[in-house]
Amino acid sequence: MDDPAIDATIYARMPYFLAVCETLSFSRAAERMGIAQPALSRSIRQLEERLGYRLFERSTRRVSLTPSGEVLYAGAREALLRLGEAISRSDKMAQGLCGTLMIGYSTFATAGPMSDLIIVFRQKHPDVKVGLRLLASSEQLAALAAGTIDLGFMMSNIVTSDQEDRAFSCEPLVALVSDSHPLAARRWVMLADLERTPFVVGSFGRWRGFRALIDEVALRNSVLLEVSEEADDLPVLLQLVRSGFGWTILDASFVPTLPPGIVALPLKWGGTLCVSLAWQRSNASPLLERFIRVADDFSASRSS
């Protein structure tokens, strides 16, 4: 064959070739393919002419493959198996049953039910790979827009009109003080009790959404919070509290995981911190939709 490209003539006749290989009978192969035997014989002859060599040895009693035919059959059968596997994977992808789902999550989602949801999703869809990236809520917005994550667990107050979202969890805010703090023995506190005392909080660059929420709570309570220290991550922030550098605010989901030396005090009229599951409006892949359905069922089961 002069032309190395596999053209439409070869592609179109390969099913007939494979049928003859598997039956070693032109009549049975024609019956399997649902065509007349002369038409099948003509297709095989045209295939041999296009290739430039014989594929079958024919006699009145039997049909057998030539050495060249055997090589072509082995390769074509393997290719057909790979094609079947590719179609199966493609079908699963179209239904959202396989692929990779990239999920962003903020610090405020880690102590909530997010992990349980992901475990439930993986159990239901074991062929889906889930990638997790720790990102501040504001960083998740940028990652959603850039397409580097498919969805995110972020603070509800930072979600914009570019995203669809589902309220996922809400927890009351609590004040965290060291166990040596003068108010540590109280059953609850108000923000006014802590006004003008050293306040430690996450840095604005990474905790922008949380800082906006705290500013709103402070404004609602007519309280001025004096920030004395900032930290980029939660472990450092908690160490500052435990060491007595100041007090801070978190949501109640973190209370069970607090290290020794820190006391959580319910914050009266402090409000709540809500986490939403959010994704870009333009992203409506079957895999994303399947995750959202599982999340909806998960949330419904928790509230029932």
Model confidence over 287-303: pLDDT tens digits?
Answer: 999 999 999 999 999 88
d(CA 197, CA 120): 44
Buried-exposed string 241-269: b where 16+ CB fall within 10 A, e elsewhere: bbeebbbbbbbbbbbeebeeebbebebee
pLDDT at 3: 52
Q: What is the model's pTM?
A: 0.71
- Residue whose structure tokens are 């923000």: 191
- Amino acid identity, residue 99? G
In 145-247 the beta strands, taken as DSSP E runs, fall at 151-155, 163-178, 198-202, 226-231
Residue 275: closest CA among 83, 97, 109: 109
- Correct CATH for 99-168+274-303 of 3.30.70.890, 3.40.50.1000, 3.40.190.10, 3.30.470.20: 3.40.190.10
- First CA to last CA distance, the chain: 70
In the block, tokens 């309280």 appear at: 223
- Residue-level pLDDT at 299: 92
From the list 65, 60, 34, 33, the residue with the least C-alpha distance to 48 is 65
Length of the chain equals 304
Is-contact 37 25, C-beta < 8 A?
Answer: no
C-alpha distances (whole Å) from 207 to each of 24, 49, 72, 213, 217 are: 72, 72, 63, 10, 15
Tokens of 209: 């959404």
Q: What is the pLDDT of residue 84?
A: 75
Which CATH architecture describes the domain 8-94? Orthogonal Bundle (1.10)
Query: Tokens 């082995």 correspond to what residue?
Result: 74
- Position 95 scores a pLDDT of 66
Residue 275: how many CB atoms within 10 A of its CB?
A: 27
For CA atoms 276, 280, 284, 286, the dihedral sign is negative
- Name the class of domain 170-272: alpha beta
Q: Tokens for 193?
A: 């009790």
Beta carbons within 10 angstroms of residue 4's beta carbon: 5
Question: CA dist 211 to 143, 192, 204, 250, 282, Å?
Answer: 20, 18, 7, 11, 29
Strands (E), the chain: 56-58, 63-65, 99-105, 128-134, 151-155, 163-178, 198-202, 226-231, 248-251, 262-266, 272-280
Q: Which pLDDT score is estimated for 27?
A: 92
Is the distance from CB of 130 to CB of 103 less than 8 angstroms?
yes
Dist CA 208 CA 215 (whole Å):
11
**Range list for CATH 3.40.190.10 in the chain:** 99-168+274-303
**Tell me, what's the pLDDT at 98?**
66
Residue span(s) of the chain under CATH 1.10.10.10 come to: 8-94
Q: Where in the chain is the domain with CATH 3.40.190.290?
A: 170-272
pLDDT in tens, the chain (304 residues): 445 456 777 888 888 999 999 999 999 999 999 999 999 999 999 999 998 899 999 887 889 999 999 999 998 888 878 877 777 777 766 766 668 999 999 999 998 899 999 999 999 999 899 999 999 999 999 999 999 999 999 999 999 999 999 999 999 999 999 999 999 999 999 999 999 899 999 998 889 999 999 999 999 999 999 999 999 899 999 999 999 999 999 999 999 999 999 999 999 988 999 999 999 988 878 899 999 999 999 999 988 7
